[in-house]
A = this chain, B = another copy of it.
Amino acid sequence: TLRLRVFDLNCWAIRYLSKRYQERVRLIGDMLRQEGFDLVLLQEVWSERDYHDLKAKLGGCYPFSHYFRSGVIGSGLCVFSRFPILDTLLYQYSLNGYPYMLQHGDWFCGKSVGLVIIKISGIVFNIYVTHLHAEYCREKDAYLSHRLVQAWELAQFIRHTSKAADVVLLGGDLNMHPEDVGIRLLRSWTGLQDAFTEAMHFEGCEGGCTLIPNNCFTVKTELLPFPLGIRIDYILYKAVSSFVVKCEVLKTTTGTAPGMDIPFSDHEAVMATLHIRRQGQAVGANLGTAEPMLADVVTEARTEVSVGLRAAQQQRYSTGRMAVLALLLLLLQAVAALGVLAGLAAGQPFPTLSFSLLAFLAIGVLLLATGLHLFHTIEVKMLQGTEEQMRMALRALQE
């Protein structure tokens, strides 16, 4: 029998941008040192300097740690552990928003899932930490298909890499509500269980919410349709082979940190106490959901991916057309300029300044549209690939 205390938090540690950022990182470090969890899964630790500061501070109680590097800014993912980390692997999602959506910035973060393997008293734990693409507008979610591709890749990555694990644990900001198709897909395809619904004892925000109006850093207008808040940060788990995992206690923070005037982050932390027990007889790895229901979820997800695919194809087409138009304009200008040079036209028929400005504009549009066209081509390919994988999974389920 083993008891494991797990901590998960989206830290919202963006240098120079997040509110009262230094104070909060210090607070988080202090609390982690004081509480002495077994395993700490953090997201949005964007700066490696912050990771190193935390590492220096937490070295005593968490001698082992790993920071996952990816993308321009970094993945923001890191793990602190009381037990030796035996191995790590990073899988970067193939789709992650759009580079030109600078105000959303997800593309630059190289969203990924990190895996660390630890072994505690002979039990092999595969620990996954991840952060999926944010949902900026629930009514008209432009990133739904990207997030679904990420959820699918996350599920596939977990399935393929966890075959030798005794216990699988996933913590992170999934940016999906519990009833969303992506989370149902992830849970049913991997057989992972939700610590909140399984917990024998719960303390914290009502409904296990992790983005609450009570937190002074959350954007209140975004939470208007959800007076209690929303639950988008999760700890999920499953036991394979001959083990049983139970969630004894699940807690969340409830806004303001104890004895302080600010919360640790704009998200609430999720803390689970898991109880792992060796079972008499080995049971085969089983999917958590009955197969007909699983087929329904995959079909639903596939439909959403197809919708995203059609939008991406449309964008690929428009950007391609734009590039062709810019090229035509350039060619036209070249012909006109050559005509002038060859003396076909008398004098200087165009004002030089506006002529060259127009040429520069056309070159700019050509480059931009070509870049976007390439980008949307990749997007189409990845959406098609995911859709085909889902189709294959459905066929396998039906057989």
Contacts and interface: CB of A to CB of B under 8 A. Distances in A.
A103 to B, nearest CB: 17
Contacts of A384: 69
A118 B391 CA distance: 17
Contacts of A86: 396
Given A72-B377, A385-B70, A91 B88 contact: no
A92 interface: yes
Contacts of A216: none
A87 interface: yes
Interface in A342-387: 352-353, 356-357, 360, 374, 377-378, 381-382, 384-385
A71 B378 contact: yes
A218 B115 CA distance: 42
Contact of A353 (B69, B88, B352, B396): B352
A142 to B, nearest CB: 22
A208 interface: no
A199 interface: no
Contacts of A356: 353, 356-357
A47 interface: no
B157 A89 contact: yes
Interface stretch (A33-41, A160-168, A261-269): A160-168
Contacts of A85: 392
A171 interface: no
Contacts of A72: 374, 377-378, 381
A289 interface: no
A162 B88 CA distance: 15
Contacts of A115: 160
Task: Count copies of this chain in the complex.
Answer: 2
Given A69-B382, A72-B374, A360-B360, A92 B90 contact: no
A110 interface: yes
Interface string A258-285: 0000000000000000000000000000
A382 B356 CA distance: 41
Contacts of A110: 378
A89 B159 CA distance: 10
B74 A381 contact: yes
A94 interface: yes
A159 B385 CA distance: 24
A337 B321 CA distance: 36
A111 to B, nearest CB: 13
Contacts of A88: 389, 392
Given A69-B385, A71-B381, A357-B356, A160 B396 contact: no
Contacts of A87: 159-160, 392, 396
A156 interface: yes
A381 B110 CA distance: 11
Nearest to A88: B389
Contact of A92 (B94, B156, B360): B94
Interface string A61-78: 000000011111010000
A286 to B, nearest CB: 15
10 contacts: A69-B382, A71-B378, A72-B378, A85-B392, A87-B159, A89-B156, A90-B94, A110-B378, A163-B164, A164-B164
Interface of A: 68-72, 74, 85-92, 94, 108, 110, 115, 156-157, 159-161, 163-164, 352-353, 356-357, 360, 374, 377-378, 381-382, 384-385, 388-389, 392, 396
